[in-house]
Amino acid sequence: MFVANENRYETMKYNRCGTSGLMLPAVSLGLWQNFGHKGCFANMENMIHTAFNLGITHFDLANNYGHPYNGSAEENFGRILDDMRHYRDEMCISTKAGYEMWPGPYGNRNGSRKYLLASLDQSLKRMKLDYVDIFYHHVFDPNTPLEETALALDQAVKQGKALYVGISNYNKEQTAKMVELFAELKTPFIVNQPSYAMLNRWVEQDGLDKFVEEKGIGLAVFSPLYQGLLTNKYLNGVPADSRIGKGETWIGSQLNEAMVAKLNKLNAVAERRGQKLSQLALSWVLHNPAVATVLIGASRPEQIVENAACINNLEFSAEEIAEIEAILAE
């Protein structure tokens, strides 16, 4: 039986998710990579325990996470939970459906009621849970009426299988339609999950961040480290055991000489602030008032420890912000 550190809540900061009642840790752990059956179970377990001991109460999953087959991350998470179910009420667990999951027309990339509700049942079974805290539609589907997707998410709540709902990979315009639909249904729609990082600022350009803030919806940001590029790892080349080194991401295509120079300049700012580059990148995203939490990924527990410590320096001076803007604009 896993016994958590007694002082686990002394180290984390908690933010309200929009104007909802739900508090989220500033740093959350996502299980997209490194939690499938391809990985080492003891390492996965260690990462979840390490995170929980740091006050990271939020774990973000999706039906399709894990290699070599979709759903294996939820299976492993369920197995890890077996030893920590007495802490269930101290956890906020999310899952999603929307991308390719099972063969045929119903488990394919879509937002139908048929797919979403069946998928949620499967996720609950894999994690051995009665409910998830947040159920997301994973990606906007131009072919399903948004009313149908909204009703399916609303039904998940009415069935008691989800406490809150969210949407992911929806832009401002698409989000605005969902805001209206959920308001009519009185669905507890509290969160939007976009990608956002120093090197990926589409949410600012789109105006999604300002819009959700105005509507009282929180942002749970994914890939805030730009899949690891915004860490010390790639400052002097590509380590073989990294996500880029293993060829697991397209992000390696961005790693040219100019990018390495930019990363080193950002690292100099981080060092002056007494931070690692990863911590600077996370603090910078958290500095946007629309952001409730950053969803980090990790391949080992030490990365979680390093990343969680970003909360020790979340303030930026105007000079630092200007300097960072200038580096990013180069």
Binding site for ligand NAP (CB under 6 A): 30-34, 60, 138, 168-169, 193, 222-228, 231, 233, 242-243, 278, 295-299, 303, 306-307
| Choice between 114 and 300, CB closer to ligand NAP | 300
Least distance to ligand NAP, CB of residue 3, Å: 26
Least distance to ligand NAP, CB of residue 157, Å: 20
d(CA 255, CA 266): 15
Least distance to ligand NAP, CB of residue 321, Å: 21
Tokens linked to 281: 């990148």
Least distance to ligand NAP, CB of residue 228, Å: 3
| Choice between 267 and 299, CB closer to ligand NAP | 299
d(CA 185, CA 207): 25
Look at the alpha carbons of 70, 67, 260, 327 in this order and tell me if their dihedral is positive or negative: positive
d(CA 190, CA 8): 26
Are the beta carbons of 143 and 127 closer than 8 angstroms? no
Alpha helix ranges (H) inside the chain? 41-53, 72-81, 113-127, 146-158, 172-185, 202-206, 208-215, 257-272, 277-286, 301-308, 318-329
| Choice between 144 and 192, CB closer to ligand NAP | 192
CB atoms within 10 A of CB 24: 28
Contacts of 58 (CB under 8 A, 6+ apart): 24, 25, 28, 29, 91, 92, 93, 94, 220, 293, 295
Least distance to ligand NAP, CB of residue 29, Å: 7
| Choice between 187 and 223, CB closer to ligand NAP | 223
3-state class percentages of the chain: helix first, strand second, coil last, to nearest 5: 45, 15, 40
| Choice between 1 and 42, CB closer to ligand NAP | 42
d(CA 26, CA 21): 15
| Choice between 11 and 158, CB closer to ligand NAP | 11
| Choice between 183 and 254, CB closer to ligand NAP | 254
| Choice between 139 and 151, CB closer to ligand NAP | 139
d(CA 257, CA 67): 32
Largest Cα span, the chain: 54
